[in-house]
Amino acid sequence: MSSLKVGDRAPEIDAQTSAGDRFVLSKQEGLCTVVYFYPKAFTPVCTGETRLFRDNYNELLLAGASLVGVSTDDSGTQCKFAGDLHLPFPLIADADKRIARAYDVLWPVVGVAQRYTFVVSPEMRIEAIFHHELSAEKHRDDVLRFVHAKFEAQRPRVS
């Protein structure tokens, strides 16, 4: 279980992405940033989860959220994974496990990331944490539900 809690300051992420650009968490704009960790590219559940996020990417984008995936794979694997799945959002390779350690999401013995998602505000506060190791659909559904509720809460009311 990650030691981070809702309300904590999110650890900075400043890393090269699968698209070749730099992702800096503190520079993200919009409603929030969804940072999802997954154990290993090309495994059935991780591939399924990434496809679910891909298929719902426009929905997240329209609500004002940005999205990034992080795993402890190397850069070449992340680039191939992103290319094979035609991802419209970046993936970050965390082979040195620096990001996974900062978010405290590593499995103790096997040393890969657990399936966690953090929703981070533009002020770098953690607004939500989701952890579903085996159910990629539940994981995605919880994230979408949270982002939609946040979006609805911020929409101006017309009387």
Residues labelled as active-site residues: 46
CA distance 2 to 104: 5
DSSP state of 27: G
Give SS3 for 58: helix
Cα-atom radius of gyration of the chain, to the nearest Å? 15
Q: Distances in Å between the alpha carbon of 19 and those of 81, 91, 111, 120? A: 11, 8, 25, 22
